[in-house]
Homo-oligomer: A and B are copies of this chain.
């Protein structure tokens, strides 16, 4: 089964291409009707295929949905990684802001794909294991930024914890200890909790904007978002 690039048959090439086209058509469908209403028949229609033909490419509707979800996580993750990489390494707050703006920018340009991953789950659909890794890309970006900020700070003034300390209840302490080990990240547990809250606030702020919960309170969403993310970054101890 040597399917190296050169030796790929015409059949294999056609298959890859159609798989991509099916996903693209499905994404276009999403834009118009949302994830719950994704229809295999409509996708087939748009491509001029018999509806049954889709089954040569995906075992069923749920697997197509899974592919779209994985692609969406990867797309927003890649975009965030790209913009974050453009900020100067020493500017930790700038790196966080770049990440946040990247996520919001992508969300505004891909509303329904964003809803697919950060809105309410599609009813009757259970996300499989395959979505976990791609979903972690943005949080891991944040971890990297905080790690670097910690390292820079430790050099100048060793031992000082990031952010404002406060007593952690036992249940939280246990979870944060496990999370620190999992991430191989040597920061105070308070900081880990703060990172989770920053991540939550980032997505929460975009959700509120997109889902209309700020109508009547905010009109300059660009400025609002940037300001709230600056405050969030400062709270993380980023400078």
Residues of A within 8 A of B (CB): 33-34, 36-37, 115, 118-121, 123-124, 127, 132, 135, 166, 168-172, 174-175, 179, 182, 193-194, 196-197, 200-201, 203-205, 207-208, 211-214, 216-220, 222-224, 226-228, 230-232, 234-235
Contact = CB atoms under 8 A, between A and B. Distances in A.
Contact of A120 (B179, B211, B231): B211
Nearest to A194: B231
13 contacts: A119-B119, A166-B230, A166-B231, A171-B223, A171-B224, A174-B220, A175-B224, A196-B214, A196-B228, A200-B208, A200-B228, A201-B201, A235-B235
A201 B197 contact: yes
B123 A37 contact: yes
A196 B217 contact: yes
Contact of A169 (B124, B194, B217, B223): B223
Contacts of A132: 216
B205 A200 contact: yes
Contacts of A217: 175, 179, 196
Contacts of A224: 171-172, 175, 193
